[in-house]
Chain A
Amino acid sequence: MTSQKIKKNRSRRIVRSSRWRRLKNRFVSSWPWVVISGFLIFALFPVYWIVLVAFRPRGDIFQYPAALLPTNLTLDNIRFVWFGSPTNEPVIGFLGNSLLISVVASVIALSFGVCCAYALGRFRIGGSFLSMWILSQRFLPPIALVVPLFLMFRQLGLLDTHLGLILIYSVFTIPIVVWLMMGYVQSAPRELEEAAYVDGAGYWTAFVRIALPVLKPGLSVAAVFTFIFIWNEYVLAFQLAGNKVATITVYLPRLRSAIAELYGEIAAASLLSVLPAIVFAGVMQRFLVRGLAFGGLK
């Protein structure tokens, strides 16, 4: 073997190995997309299925095996749910109840919560005990308190009323608002408010005129959070109300206990009920990545 040959061989090997490495690199650097695509399919396929069934005629729904791709399309299911039919009530009243209760309770929770977060975050009253106590309320799930609340509401005549649900939902979401807003209050500059004090503004004026506008982005995030929490809640909505005052989450299982299992109608109603959630996901993502994990540890 001449030295020239060896050199040639070696250089060929180097060329080959660098090509192999590039291929390997490309494969390795594409793994995030493999993982993400897999998760996107897993996360969205059920949503796709709901949409599919919601627009599928009854005959096609009860076919075996179920067609995985869209077949015939119909608006019947949506129409039955919206206007009502012999087998189910119209959904509109339930949506109205949900909307009314969610909006009013959110407004109450936000007003109480932002004041409290401001007091805790700016003036540090009550030390860490008070804020920990308020935050710890978030750890109690509604289901743990449903029995005493049921007894309490029965005694107070609040069962099956808008007022009862509004009260309980505001109280359950106040800790979430305080928790979210405290991070915003602490990261907002306090110099502006101090300047206002020097100019003779009272604490309340400084809070309303100076601090609140700065907290607006945080408030809108908290508003979305509380709204969706209340909109999605089922346990309290079913046990503390659910007859005269019934929300959309109470409406859905009713379709199942009807004479036939109203597949198409359930899908259509579910679709209507998740639209706010989808808006929520869009609004929330920008904040969640940084804020939520961060705020939770502060």
Chain B
Amino acid sequence: MRGQKRFAWLMATPTIIALIALGIVPLGWMIWTAFQSFPPNPANPPQFIGMRNFVDLADDPQFFGSLRTTAIVLVFSLSLQLVLGFLLALALYSIERGRGLIVSLLLIPTAIAPIVAGIVWWMLFNARFGAINSFLVQFFGIDPVNWTIEMPTALIAIIVAVVWQWTPFVAIILLGGLTTIPRDVLDAARIDGASGWRVLRYIIVPLMRPFFLVVGLLMIIEIVRLYELPFFITQGGPGNETVVAGVYLFKLAFSFFDLGRASMMSVFLVIALSLVAALYMRLVADRRMTVN
């Protein structure tokens, strides 16, 4: 038995070391640099400046603007993803033939690199040469829309791209959840005379809660880290209207070279994400306990 444990620890050690070296150490380093100021010339050593980065960040309207933009994108994309994804999952659940092929086709957007997704939607939304304006002009006679350089269409373009990239993924996870619901539960409800809507509302949705929570968490992480889509589609414009948290973090670090303040912002994002993740795990765990 002791040999067994020793063997198991030997097997896990490389991973633990790797995760500490390139996961925990950078995290610690980040907290340390969040209290430092970096001179423009990297040859000069950084200086400890205490809470100055924090104060600067708390005073920075662009930082709060970027958080607001992220929040807007998050609210709209997440609700669209969950509602449309669930609709699609129900549709996939109720068909018998061709599911495999359809699922592989639907997953193409998720499998495409975010930077390519940005390129694709940048092309589609282009005011002169894009397909969307071409469609509107030819079929509806609407004047071309300057999608990516006006508000709120620039934000809409980003939300559409996010929804496009991740809704199929959400649907597949939820479909996986639907397949875990025992058929006899649904049949029993039917025999008792429950209508389709009531089955959905009182049986399927409650049983699906943990799946909604998990996929919702994955999507929140995905949207908070959003960078490539705004970077390519709108480049943060018009003005700073579509600068989301990820884009602003990059600006701070690699355009303004304010690495200290960027670290402080990363610390903030990591804490925020950890809180969300912890809350989610708590919710999922609670649910499982009441089900058991």
For the complex formed, measure the closest distance between the CB of A186 and the CB atoms of chain B, giving whole angstroms.
14
Select which of A65, A231, A290 is within 8 A of B138 by beta carbon. A65
For the complex formed, measure the closest distance between the CB of A267 and the CB atoms of chain B, giving whole angstroms.
7
Query: How many angstroms from the CA of A170 to the CA of B42 in the assembled complex?
Result: 28
Closest B residue to A174 by CB, please name it. B15
**Which residues of chain B are within 8 angstroms of A200 by Cβ–Cβ distance?**
none
Q: Is the interface of B mostly helix, strand, loop or mixed?
A: helix
Contact flags (1/0) for B88-107 with A, using CB distance below 8 Å? 10111011000110111111
Beta-carbon contacts under 8 Å, B56-102 to A:
84, 87-88, 90-92, 94-95, 99-100, 102
**Which residues of chain B are within 8 angstroms of A154 by Cβ–Cβ distance?**
42
**Which residues of chain B are within 8 angstroms of A123 by Cβ–Cβ distance?**
4-5, 7-8
**Which residues of chain B are within 8 angstroms of A252 by Cβ–Cβ distance?**
115-116, 119
Contact flags (1/0) for A132-174 with B, using CB distance below 8 Å? 0010110111111111111110100000000000011011001
B30 with A115: CB separation less than 8 A: no
Q: Counting CB contacts under 8 A, is A82 at the interface? A: no
Q: How large is the interface on B (under 10, 10 to 19, 20 to 34, 35 or more residues)?
A: 35 or more
Closest A residue to B138 by CB, please name it. A65
For the complex formed, measure the closest distance between the CB of B133 and the CB atoms of chain A, giving whole angstroms.
7
B128 with A145: CB separation less than 8 A: no
**Which residues of chain A are within 8 angstroms of B4 by Cβ–Cβ distance?**
123, 203
Q: Counting CB contacts under 8 A, is B173 at the interface? A: yes
**Which residues of chain A are within 8 angstroms of B11 by Cβ–Cβ distance?**
115-116, 118-119, 207
**Which residues of chain B are within 8 angstroms of A127 by Cβ–Cβ distance?**
none
Q: Counting CB contacts under 8 A, is A249 at the interface? A: yes
Query: How many angstroms from the CA of A119 to the CA of B5 in the assembled complex?
Result: 9
B108 with A285: CB separation less than 8 A: no
Query: How many angstroms from the CA of A123 to the CA of B210 in the assembled complex?
Result: 27
B129 with A61: CB separation less than 8 A: yes
**Which residues of chain B are within 8 angstroms of A291 by Cβ–Cβ distance?**
176
**Which residues of chain B are within 8 angstroms of A145 by Cβ–Cβ distance?**
23, 26-27, 30, 266
**Which residues of chain A are within 8 angstroms of B90 by Cβ–Cβ distance?**
32, 35
Q: Counting CB contacts under 8 A, is A188 at the interface? A: no
Select which of B23, B167, B253 is within 8 A of A146 by beta carbon. B253
For the complex formed, measure the closest distance between the CB of A118 and the CB atoms of chain B, giving whole angstroms.
6
A274 with B112: CB separation less than 8 A: yes
A288 with B172: CB separation less than 8 A: yes
- Between A and B, how many residue pairs show CB distances below 8 Å? 296
Q: Counting CB contacts under 8 A, is A228 at the interface? A: yes
A32 with B95: CB separation less than 8 A: yes
Select which of B14, B42, B117, B214 is within 8 A of A116 by beta carbon. B14
A147 with B263: CB separation less than 8 A: yes
Q: A35-B87, A43-B164 are in contact. Are A288 and B259 (CB under 8 A)?
A: no
Q: Counting CB contacts under 8 A, is B175 at the interface? A: yes
Contact flags (1/0) for A181-205 with B, using CB distance below 8 Å? 0000000000000000000000110
Select which of B26, B112, B137, B174 is within 8 A of A149 by beta carbon. B26
Q: Counting CB contacts under 8 A, is A33 at the interface? A: yes
**Which residues of chain B are within 8 angstroms of A167 by Cβ–Cβ distance?**
22
Closest B residue to A295 by CB, please name it. B176
Q: Counting CB contacts under 8 A, is A219 at the interface? A: no
Q: Counting CB contacts under 8 A, is A27 at the interface? A: no
A40 with B105: CB separation less than 8 A: yes
**Which residues of chain A are within 8 angstroms of B230 by Cβ–Cβ distance?**
none
Q: Counting CB contacts under 8 A, is B273 at the interface? A: yes
Q: A116-B12, A252-B119 are in contact. Are A232 and B114 (CB under 8 A)?
A: yes
- Pick the 3 closest A-B CB pairs, nearest first: A293-B176, A141-B225, A232-B113
Given contacts A61-B129, A64-B129, A288-B107, 15 further A-B contacts (CB under 8 A): A46-B124, A50-B119, A65-B144, A120-B12, A145-B23, A148-B263, A152-B25, A232-B114, A234-B113, A263-B123, A285-B104, A288-B173, A289-B103, A290-B179, A293-B177
Can you give 11 contacting A-B residue pairs, CB < 8 Å? A49-B124, A66-B133, A68-B131, A119-B7, A143-B225, A145-B27, A147-B33, A151-B29, A152-B29, A253-B231, A285-B107
